[in-house]
Amino acid sequence: MNWGMKNRISRIIKPGTGHCVMLAVDHGYFQGPTTGLRNLGKTVEPLLPYADALMITRGGLRNWIPPESGIPVILRVSGGQSILKELSNEVITTSIEDAIRINASAITCSVYVGSEYEKETIANLSKLVDEGEKYGIPVLAVTAVGKDMARDARYLGLASRICVETGTHIVKTYYTEDFGSVVEACGNVPVVIAGGTKIPEKEALLMAHNAISEGAAGVDMGRNIFQSDSPVGMIKAIRSVVHDRNSVDEAYGIYVKEK
């Protein structure tokens, strides 16, 4: 791995703990004004001091995030579909030149294993890895789950491993029973979990706690942070689980105190 690639990864996955808390706010690229992100800037601004990186589109950045914020950016560069159509029908929406201009610490796309446009989304990842390798920019592959797929270790292991074999530098997938086997299937590639749809705070903390215990490098969480009744409390609590290895009860206490 070249120096630039290692440097960018270390901006995201903190060398001190080997873990990371990514804040995902890229939902609008296919969901439009998602609950909590209509005014993305207002939601994200108080959370920035507690996030290790921000997963976002270039439009999200240019409209709502000041360039002076200093937050490492994981730039969403795939899209082209919407919730009204087939979700797997993604193309690359942002050039590597624009990612470099933005000073992205990583670029990201979704891979829809088992969906109608499976091959095209794997080809998108492949192209990004080729470009990322050229310029020292790591790629985070999201194992996006189509409507008919079971989110079990067998499916997520299959999808994650395909991303690894295609050359991704970080895998983002979902927590599931037997999550350790998914992590094992990814070899040395760090695995982070998405939060998924909003669940009660304590359950989200338990999920993050279990994921870290079973080998995840961190979380790339969105709705379970910004749709919480205390987004700052929740991101602080998640940080304490991910970086300080706090118990779920200790972390929940942080959330309650902040609320």
**Per CB under 6 A, does 36 bind ligand 5RP?**
no
Amino acid identity of residue 82, one-letter, is: S
Helices and strands in the chain: count of H runs, count of E runs: 12, 10
Q: Is 157 in the site for ligand 5RP (CB under 6 A)?
A: no
Q: Is 214 in the site for ligand 5RP (CB under 6 A)?
A: no
Q: For residues 88 and 246, which CB has a smaller minimum distance to ligand 5RP in the complex?
A: 88
How far apart (Å, rounded) are the C-alpha atoms in residues 157 and 63? 36
The first and second tokens of residue 123, run together, are: 């080809």
Min CB(2)–ligand 5RP separation in Å: 26
The Cα 57–Cα 92 span in angstroms is 12
Footprint on residues 77-136 left by ligand 5RP (CB under 6 A): 110
Which of 58, 60, 50 is CA-nearest to residue 25?
60
205 lines the binding site for ligand 5RP (CB under 6 A) = no
Position among 12, 13, 23, 24 found at the interface with ligand 5RP (CB under 6 A): 24
Residue 60, interface with ligand 5RP (CB under 6 A)? Answer: no
Q: Print the binding letters for residues 220-249 with ligand 5RP: x by CB under 6 A, - otherwise.
A: -xxxx-------------------------
**CB within 8 A of 204, min separation 6: which ones?**
195, 221, 224, 234, 238
| 20 bridge partner residues | 218
259 is annotated as an active-site residue: no
Closest distance between ligand 5RP and the C-beta of residue 81, in Å?
11
Helix (H, G, I), strand (E, B) or coil at 190: coil
82 in Cβ contact with 32 (< 8 Å): yes
Q: Which is nearer to ligand 5RP, 7 or 120 (CB)?
A: 120
**Residue from 26, 90, 201, 214 binding ligand 5RP (CB under 6 A):** 26
Residue 214 CA from chain centroid, whole number: 18
Q: Please name the amino acid found at residue 148.
A: D
From the list 172, 236, 257, 259, the catalytic residue is 172
**Residue 55 lies near ligand 5RP (rule: CB under 6 A):** yes
Binding site for ligand 5RP (CB under 6 A): 24, 26-27, 55, 110, 142, 144, 194-196, 221-224
Q: Please identify every residue annotated as catalytic.
A: 172
